[in-house]
Each structure stands twice: as structure tokens, then as C-alpha cells.
Amino acid sequence: MAEFQPGLEKPATEEKSPPKKPVKKKDSWFLWSRDIVIVLILVLLFRTHVAEANYIPSPSMEPTLKVHDRIIVDKLSLNWRPIERGELVVFHPPLNDKVKERWIKRVIGVPGDMVEILRGVVYVNGERLDEPYIENPGGYTEPPIRLEVDDPATRVNEGEYYLMGDNRGNSRDSHIWGPCPSDNIIGRAIFRYWPINEIGSLEGGGE
């Protein structure tokens, strides 16, 4: 019987792992561009559905808001909380040559209200409206107007709002072009962030 002789065995061959494929580094320009696009999309979605910054371009809301004041407009709450009399709203004016612009006025009448103006004094549903925010009331008279309410049986929102500037003697508002359709309203002006010394809430009509 042959004896076991060490050294006659063939050494086991180590299995060689397949060469690793070099990892391609993603192009930094592509990554940078992708991140920018994502941020822009998020900003656009936020601005479209949640809130946006606006500035005051005219003196029609003085003394409450002055030219070049910066404000935050809340859009989201329109989905669950109805607009109330006295609030400040940003909207697209119902004028063919201004429909893409953004204006800001105070809500004087809500759907279903009867609004009347006698020598600058506003009456809503037969009662004089208390307006401590008015500096220049103006002296014009407007006949009574009933604001339309929304009919849930239709797809269109027929609701109307009567909107006026606080600077009544220098404001192009509902006393000139009539009620504002609900669909034209963008959101509530809820906060002023500029100038620094005027920072604060505008919610509840800014009173």
C-alpha cells in the first residue's frame, strides 16, 4: 500500500473574482441641474397652492398698507375657511385689461349681502358698516347691490364679493367695476414682513 506522501498533492487553486467594473461618477453638472429643477418645482407648487409673497404697488390701501410694503398671501385656507367681511384679499380684478394683475382690497360684502353706499358711508344689509381703518372715505353714492351666492347644483362658483380700498378717495374697486367673482380671489393677506418696523399679522382685517 502506497503511503501518503505530502507534496505530491496539487495545491488548491484560489478562485479569482471577476474584475470589478469601474464605478462611473455621476456628472456633477447633471446632479446640480437636477437639484435646481426639484427646488424650482417645490417652490412653484408652494407658491401655487400654499402661499406667496406680494408687494403693494399703489396707495389704494393706505393707511393700512403703504406703497412697497411686502406681504404674505395665504392661499391654502381658502379650501376650508370661507372669506369673511373685513379681511384683506389679493385677487385678479374682473377687468379685461387687468385680469392678469394682482390687486389687494378689503372685503366689504360677502355672497348674499346687500351693499349700499351713501355719500361715502357704507351700509351692509341695511346697517352702517363700522370702518375705523378708513382715512379718506370719499363722497360718492352707489345704489344697493345684492351679491350672488354660489349654486352648488352648478360647476361654476357664482359667489361674489364687494371689495374696496381703505383709501376710498383713491381706489379703483367694486364701486367702479362691480362685485368680484369668487374664482378671481387668490388668497388672504395675512402677514406684513416689510418694512421691519411694521412686521405683523394682517389677519382679521388688519384692525
Q: Look at 29 and 67; give whichever has higher pLDDT.
A: 67
Mean pLDDT of 183-199: 94
pLDDT class of 72 with cuts at 50, 70, 90: very high
- Tell me the domains of the chain and their CATH numbers: 52-201 (2.10.109.10)
Q: What is the DSSP string of 123-185?
A: EETTEEPP-TT-S------EEEEEPP---TTSSS---EEEEE-SSGGG--SHHHH-PEEGGGE
Residue 38: φ, ψ to 5°: -60, -45
Q: What is the pTM of this model?
A: 0.77
Candidate from 26-30, 121-125, 136-140 with smallest mean pLDDT? 26-30
Separation between Cα atoms, residue 167 and residue 135, nearest integer Å:
6
Active-site position among 75, 105, 174, 182? 105
C-alpha cell at 131: 370702518
Burial class (CB in 10 A: 0-12, 13-18, 19+), 25: exposed
Burial class (CB in 10 A: 0-12, 13-18, 19+), 49: exposed
Active-site position among 21, 58, 60, 98? 60
Q: Three-state SS for 38?
A: helix
pLDDT digits (tens, 9 = 90+) for 75-89: 999 988 999 999 999
Decide if 60 is catalytic.
Answer: yes
Per-residue pLDDT at 12 exceeds 80: no
Decide if 105 is catalytic.
Answer: yes
